[in-house]
Amino acid sequence: MGRYVLRRLLQMIPVFIGTTFLIFVMVHALGDPVNALFGDRAPDPAVAAQIRAQYNLNDPLWLQYVKYMGKLFQWDFGTTFSGQTVTSQLAAAYPVTLKLTAVAFTIEVVFGIGLGLLSGLRRGRIADNSVLILTLVVISIPTFVTGYVLQYLVGVKWGILPATVGFDVTFQSLLLPGIVLASVSLAYVARLTRTTVAENTKADYVRTAVAKGLPRHRVVINHLLRNSLIPVVTFLGTDLGALMGGALVTERIFNIHGVGYTLYQGIVRQSTNTVVGFVTILVIIFLLANLLVDLLYAVLDPRIRYA
């Protein structure tokens, strides 16, 4: 077990370096940040030189990367050109995104697994076919279309839920964005659960459980669902990582000042430190989520060996 974790951690290092370096190069290709800072006016050469020296902009790109990473590990993400520290931006954005993630994830788990179980148990019937078709439709409609339509219908026309979030983040206002954000993953969870449930209904252990006279709900919950959820849990784990990365589209539609929103603003305003800092955190979360999923997988399924 220990060796397995160690090996996976070591494998992560080149991926981490490669991904962050790629983003670093791309962001720095956005253009000269000093010129962007001054806008249309030409900067005073002395001031420009001072800023360049302060932000290490004269070094070759790889050295800038190394220096940046060195600071990063001391929890110093640098400051934006407006003087705000990236750490404070992170501190402001993350609680909002985490709340949204919690709402979306709950919806995804409850309805995704519920619908998948229903459909897998009634394979080939009307309920099953309608779940299959509905999930395909949900997957096909881009999130920004679902977002605008639901925002208009539920938020504006019928007025059931708040249409936008803004600064005052309440549970009620996050419900609608949560549904929009969860919809596509929900469809995947339902389809995945359906497939594994339908496969496992024919398994020997289910037949044994039925034959020894267990009531149906115990067969379904203790035997069938428990074994069918292994691939679903791995999907959910990775998805949780993706959700915590913030939702560019959903946060923009519903005016949620979370990670996705801040990141989008950072890119639009060419704020190099914001973008690189946020993306680095996202990559770390993504890789850790993957590692956790692997470990969870092995805990859930004892047949998996740690080589």
Partner 1 sequence: MPDQEKYNRSDPMAGAGDEDEEMQSAVESRTLDLGTMEGETLIKAERLGDHPETPAAGEERVAPRSLWQDAWRDLRRNPIFIISGLLIVFLVIVAIWPGLFTSTNPLNCDLTKSQQGPTSGHPFGYDTQGCDVYARTIYGARASITVGVCATAGSALVGTLLGGLAGFFGGWSDSVISRVADIFFGIPILLGGLVFLSVITIRSIWIVVAFIVVLGWPQLARIGRGAVITAKQQDYVTAARALGAGSGRLMLRHILPNAVAPIIVVATIALGTYIALEATLSYLGVGLKPPTVSWGIDISAASDSFSIAPHMLLFPAAALSITVLAFIMLGDAVRDALDPKLR
Catalog residues that contact partner 1 under the rule CB under 8 A: 8, 11-12, 14-16, 18-19, 22-23, 26-27, 29-31, 136-137, 139-145, 148-149, 151-152, 156, 188, 191-192, 195, 231, 234-235, 238-239, 242, 245, 248-249, 252-253, 263-264, 267-268, 275, 279, 282-283, 286-287, 290, 293-294, 307
Rounded CA-CA distance 26/20 in Å is 10
258 CA to centre of own chain: 12
Least Å distance, CB 134 to partner 1, is 12
Least Å distance, CB 51 to partner 1, is 21
* Per-residue CA distances from 267 to 26, 27, 79, 133, 264 (Å): 11, 8, 15, 37, 5
Least Å distance, CB 243 to partner 1, is 11
Question: Closer CB to partner 1, residue 211 or residue 268?
Answer: 268
Question: Closer CB to partner 1, residue 248 or residue 300?
Answer: 248
Least Å distance, CB 307 to partner 1, is 6
Rounded CA-CA distance 307/7 in Å is 10
Query: What are the backbone dihedrals phi and psi of residue 259, each rounded to the nearest 5 degrees, phi first?
Result: -65, -45
Least Å distance, CB 21 to partner 1, is 9
Question: Closer CB to partner 1, residue 209 or residue 289?
Answer: 289
Question: Closer CB to partner 1, residue 28 or residue 257?
Answer: 28
Question: Closer CB to partner 1, residue 46 or residue 268?
Answer: 268
Least Å distance, CB 47 to partner 1, is 26
Question: Closer CB to partner 1, residue 7 or residue 207?
Answer: 7
Least Å distance, CB 84 to partner 1, is 20
Query: What does the chain look like in DSSP terms, one character per residue?
Result: -HHHHHHHHHHHHHHHHHHHHHHHHHHHTT--HHHHHHTTSPPPHHHHHHHHHHTTTTS-HHHHHHHHHHHHTTT---B-TTS-BHHHHHHHHHHHHHHHHHHHHHHHHHHHHHHHHHHHHTTTSHHHHHHHHHHHHHHHS-HHHHHHHHIIIIIIIS-SS-S--BSS--HHHHHHHHHHHHHHHHHHHHHHHHHHHHHHTTSHHHHHHHHTT--HHHIIIIIIIHHHHHHHHHHHHHHHHHHHT--HHHHHHTTB-SHHHHHHHHHHTT-HHHHHHHHHHHHHHHHHHHHHHHHHHHHH-TT----
Question: Closer CB to partner 1, residue 39 or residue 83?
Answer: 39
Question: Closer CB to partner 1, residue 143 or residue 210?
Answer: 143
Least Å distance, CB 212 to partner 1, is 29
